[in-house]
Amino acid sequence: MKLWMRWCHAALIALSITLAGIPVAYSQMKAGEAAPLFTLKNSQGKSFELAGMKAKPMLILYFFDVASRPSQEGLLSLDKLAKLYKDAELAVWGITRSDAGQVSQFLSQTQLGFPVLIDDGTVADQYAARIILPTACIVGPDLKLLDYFQGGGKTTEALLVTLAERKLQSRQTNIAKALSNEVTQKDPGNVRAKSVQGYAELKEGDLKAAENTFSKLSQKKGDAEIVGKEGLSQVYAQKGQPDKAMTMAREVEGKAGDRAYSHLVQGDLLYSQNKPKEAEAEYRKAIEKPGGNPSHRATAYNQLGRIYAARGDYSKSLGMYDQAVSLDPFYVEATSNKGMTYERQGQWDMALESYRKAQAIDHADPFAATLAANANKMILMEKDPDRRRQIEAQIDTYAQNYKDGVAASDQKSDDPWTSGAAIQMMLLEPVETGGLSIRDGFPRVLTLHLAEQLNSSGRLGIVEPIVLERVIRKVGLSNSDLADPDITLKLARACGAKLIAKGTLYHLVEGTLLKYKLIDTVANRESKEISRQLASAATLGKDMHWLNREMLLAVMGEYPLQGFVVQVNGHEVLMNLGSKQGVVVGALFDVVEDKPAVEFKGKVLKAEAAVMATIEVVRVEEEFAYAQIKEQRRQIAVEDKLRENIRVLKGEPLSNW
């Protein structure tokens, strides 16, 4: 009898916990464990295998009872958000022990967008999800369990907030804000949900909105005040108000000394003030603090990894990145930084593996995509002896040219008017200065991306980055040497480059400023400066496209294509330029006529060439192109001079380039 009473008492406690929505520790799985593998079918008999989801960065397993509305609550909230944000990659599997008939009825009523899998209890037992429903598991990269929740009510809120934080970590700010809003509509006082909104606004570069969110939190008592002031310290830093940011961070440190974020903000500020030792000390304090969001400690580990990598202490650097990723499995920056550390050691296979992991977390990340493509290229080159010999011969030639102080051979044309092949450009990796970027390899990514894009335009031929890097190493040039304009000019001429693109990345707490100078090696003069404030990681792809466009426009404006009319047939004109020179369909050319110079009071005044007609390219071959006459002031004749007209390109998209 006593045994029976004890059993009933335990059952009532378990039931009350379920109804109250309080998470329990009994038989729970633990974060970091491998998710038990299984295969289940839906009501139509289609199989779903967990092992096949390994490449997915995140999957939610939601154990529920289709006959219980409270058990369905979290699943229906996720379904609503997934339908609103279809690009959010919100993958959920509902798992139930209900029978197929109940499942079919539930699906017909809800039109659920997620699969619902029928379990005989085996999988529920594997995940300790038989007694308390709902039970939700967030499964992350490599099918590791990240988070585990049991119960509805407040536990469902905790699930949604944690999921919002995970989506924020993977830089899906729209869905993170939507999940946060879903919670705050029911619980306006949920501080974690509000903080997700503020940090999402920071990631998007919307400082006004972030300041408003964190200011409201800071005016409350308890955790809300601390979280609000932590966020405000970062807002002030990004607004370029370092004193205000430092004061706020130190206030938080005084009130909540167990939290990491204030030390992280102080570390970034100190590094930007050229105080690396003091910054490192703050990052170390941050990793030792148990309070606050674990992702803040992950960022501090990442920054320490960057510091060790810069010193050449690659073993310690890799250890720091591993710590960062263990705290934040969706930390794409730390994952790709790990790849850069392997790359610097020549371990291209390991580098590629890291870059591909970063791509799995965020397939739209331009850093991971660019670095992975380059690592793959390097691996293939090492396996291709002919290609390797070709590269090495080119390196030897350029290095010898540099030592001898001669320029790469440049064949003179008998036709000084007609443009030759693509203009050769030497892209030097930008110099980094200022604060400590969370991304390693920023200069490398910009250079590789630009090299690929500019090469594909047909207008420019880029000295291969790997060739240039090895020539620099072979002739023994340091970074300080490359700051000398005479040395870079000599190097460019040795590589046969007419243009040099030389850049600087100014890492400021409020963002990164990029400046590029284009230098003509023949005239030995600066021809153009291009600058842009990089707003945030979310806009980097757009920023790099803009940079490619501006460089092309600068080159086209300074060095427009020139040629001759070869043949005129009605409204069709054949010209002696083609894809070899970078002509594309839609390009405009003016027919120009030289005007005689005028002498006035002993001075010879050269008149600008007159535009007699404009033609538009409609078909392009390698050596020539066909164009249609758009307008003309006189009849176009054979041997008329042609000059590219780029005026219409200003502000136009480069979709054809």
Q: Do 178 and 81 contact (CB within 8 A), yes or no? A: yes
Q: Does residue 5 have a pLDDT over 70?
A: no
- 364: in domain: no
Q: Does residue 10 have a pLDDT over 80?
A: no
Percent of the chain with pLDDT over 90: 66
- 319: in domain: no
The model's confidence at residue 655, banded by pLDDT at 50, 70 and 90, is very low
Higher pLDDT, 227 or 536: 227
Q: How many CA atoms lie within 13 A of 385 on its CB side?
A: 0
- 235: in domain: no
Tell me: do 460 and 602 sit in the same domain: no
- 445: in domain: yes
Domain boundary pick from 508, 537, 558: 558
Q: What is the pLDDT of residue 542?
A: 81
Mean pLDDT of 586-595: 92
The model's confidence at residue 398, banded by pLDDT at 50, 70 and 90, is very high
Domain boundary pick from 558, 588, 620: 558
Give the pLDDT confidence of 134-182 residue by residue, as tens digits.
Answer: 999 999 988 999 999 998 888 989 999 999 999 888 888 898 999 999 9
Whichever domain contains 586, its CATH number is: 2.40.10.410
Instruction: Write the CA distances from 127 to 14, 62, 132, integer angstroms.
Output: 17, 11, 11
Mean pLDDT of 535-547: 74
The model's confidence at residue 411, banded by pLDDT at 50, 70 and 90, is low
Query: What value does the mean pLDDT of the chain take?
Result: 88
Tell me: do 442 and 566 sit in the same domain: no
Mean pLDDT of 588-610: 81
Q: Do 443 and 467 contact (CB within 8 A), yes or no? A: no
Question: How far, rounded to the nearest angstrom, does the alpha carbon of residue 155 sit from its chain's CA centroid?
Answer: 33
Q: Does residue 653 have a pLDDT over 60?
A: no
Give the pLDDT confidence of 212-265 residue by residue, as tens digits.
Answer: 999 999 999 999 999 999 999 999 998 989 999 999 999 999 999 999 999 999
Tell me: do 505 and 594 sit in the same domain: no
Give the pLDDT confidence of 297-321 residue by residue, as tens digits.
Answer: 999 999 999 999 999 999 999 999 9
Q: What is the pLDDT of residue 342?
A: 97
- Other Cβ atoms less than 10 A from the Cβ of 167: the count is 27
Full DSSP string of 595-628? ---EEETTEEEPPPPEEEEEEEEEEE-SS-EEEE
Q: What is the pLDDT of residue 27?
A: 57
Tell me: do 509 and 404 sit in the same domain: yes
The listed range with the strongest mean pLDDT (22-31, 443-452, 539-548) is 443-452
Tell me: do 550 and 643 sit in the same domain: no
Burial of 351 per CB tally in 10 Å (0-12, 13-18, 19+):
buried
Q: Distance between CA 549 and CA 656 in Å, rounded?
A: 12
CA-closest candidate to residue 479, choices 404, 515, 429, 521: 429
Backbone angles phi, psi at 527, to 5 degrees: -100, -20
Tell me: do 578 and 513 sit in the same domain: no
CA-closest candidate to residue 616, choices 635, 598, 589: 589
Tell me: do 580 and 454 sit in the same domain: no
Q: What is the pLDDT of residue 7?
A: 39
Tell me: do 541 and 570 sit in the same domain: no
Q: What is the pLDDT of residue 526?
A: 82
Instruction: Write the CA distances from 392 to 74, 213, 464, 471, integer angstroms.
Output: 60, 57, 12, 10
What's the total number of domains in the chain? 3
Query: Rounded to the nearest 10 degrees, how much is the dihedral formed by the CA atoms of 164, 169, 170, 173?
Result: 50
Domain of 15 in residue numbering reads as 1-152
Tell me: do 461 and 553 sit in the same domain: yes
Tell me: do 448 and 579 sit in the same domain: no
Q: Distance between CA 263 and CA 284 in Å, rounded?
A: 8
- 380: in domain: no
Tell me: do 568 and 538 sit in the same domain: no
Q: What is the pLDDT of residue 334?
A: 96
Contacts of range 399-402, beta carbons closer than 8 Å, 24 or more positions apart: 399/471, 399/474, 399/475, 399/494, 401/493, 401/494, 401/495, 402/471, 402/475, 402/490, 402/491, 402/494
Q: What is the pLDDT of residue 355?
A: 96
The model's confidence at residue 601, banded by pLDDT at 50, 70 and 90, is confident
Query: What are the residues whose beta carbons fall under 8 Å from the beta carbon of 308, sequence distance 6 or more?
Result: 314, 316, 317, 320
Peptide bond into 134 cis (omega under 30): yes
Higher pLDDT, 372 or 655: 372
Query: What are the residues whose beta carbons fall under 8 Å from the beta carbon of 265, sequence distance 6 or more?
Result: 230, 233, 234, 237, 245, 246, 249
Q: Do 588 and 615 contact (CB within 8 A), yes or no? A: yes
Whichever domain contains 33, its CATH number is: 3.40.30.10
Please compute Rg for the chain using Cα positions.
31
Q: What is the pLDDT of residue 312?
A: 94
The model's confidence at residue 1, banded by pLDDT at 50, 70 and 90, is very low
Q: What is the DSSP letter of 311?
A: H
Q: What is the pLDDT of residue 213?
A: 96
Domain boundary pick from 558, 577, 603: 558
Whichever domain contains 492, its CATH number is: 3.40.50.10610
Q: What is the pLDDT of residue 495?
A: 95
Give the pLDDT confidence of 613-648 residue by residue, as tens digits.
Answer: 999 999 999 999 999 999 999 999 999 999 999 865
